Amino acid sequence: MTISHSRLEENLRRIRQRIAAAAVDSGRKPHEVRFIAVTKYVDSPEARSVALAGCSDLGESRPQELWRKAEQLADIPISWHLIGPLQTNKIRRTLPVVSLIHSIGGLRLLAALNEEAQKQQRNVQGLLEVNISGETAKQGFMPTEVAAIVARLDDFPHVTICGLMGMASAQARPGQARREFASLRELRETLIQQFPSAARFHELSMGMSGDFEDAIAEGATWVRLGSALFDENGF
């Protein structure tokens, strides 16, 4: 996929406008909602254009692709977000380049991240991915499992969990995506009341090109946008 620089800047402008409008509509401040440009559909030159156009939070769903682009764009300041599955054999190379891992969806991954982070003398920032749609194809903890994980976070001192991530149903009926986002917001509130270690759960990563306004209405602090940004026909 390629896209002209002027189209990209125009899409970015429209996205920022719609994010700000959605925030204001729900009584929030525009700066409370940040967005990640998901660059998985494009190659490094387009990803570079996005960063140079002022969006320095970039997201990839595959670790190898994240490594590759991070290396090719090492000359500009970018915060890299991993938004897809992370296999344990890819943790070692991912930690030095990633700023936030949105997709911590299993206890084994959490434990492996902690172990490798300790080895590398780093702290990893991450989100617990929750399967809010109930679709079997989706990754993540089931909502009912999350409290037991949060209760054990002290066992993983090299991983700082700073919130929750979720994806709405792929074929959501009207109103369904918003209800699913609301369930993630409510889960976060319940956890904060229950567990001291959830006091730092400031982030809610939810909302993609087709549903980000619903996500913002339900409290998203990060939205993850790919196709909206790279749509050659305008967004």
Ligand X SMILES: *Cc1c(COP(=O)(O)O)cnc(C)c1O
Residue ranges binding ligand X (CB under 6 A)? 38, 40, 61, 83-84, 167, 208-210, 224-228
Question: Minimum distance from CB of 225 to ligand X (Å)?
Answer: 5
Specify the residue, 27 or 174, whose C-beta has the smaller distance to ligand X.
174
Specify the residue, 2 or 123, whose C-beta has the smaller distance to ligand X.
2
Specify the residue, 169 or 227, whose C-beta has the smaller distance to ligand X.
227
Specify the residue, 30 or 210, whose C-beta has the smaller distance to ligand X.
210
Question: Minimum distance from CB of 8 to ligand X (Å)?
Answer: 15
Specify the residue, 53 or 151, whose C-beta has the smaller distance to ligand X.
53
C-alpha–C-alpha distance, residues 86 and 93, integer Å = 11
Q: Where are the beta strands (DSSP E) in 33-158?
A: 34-38, 57-60, 79-82, 98-104, 124-130
Degrees, nearest 5: CA angle 148-164-90: 90
C-alpha–C-alpha distance, residues 93 and 68, integer Å = 11
C-alpha–C-alpha distance, residues 184 and 195, integer Å = 16
Question: Minimum distance from CB of 102 to ligand X (Å)?
Answer: 7
Task: Identify residue 213 by its one-letter amino acid code.
Answer: E
Question: Minimum distance from CB of 78 to ligand X (Å)?
Answer: 17
Q: Tell me which residue of 173, 168, 218 sits closest to 27, measured CA to CA.
A: 218
Degrees, nearest 5: CA angle 123-168-46: 65
Question: Minimum distance from CB of 231 to ligand X (Å)?
Answer: 9
3-state secondary structure (DSSP) of residue 93? helix
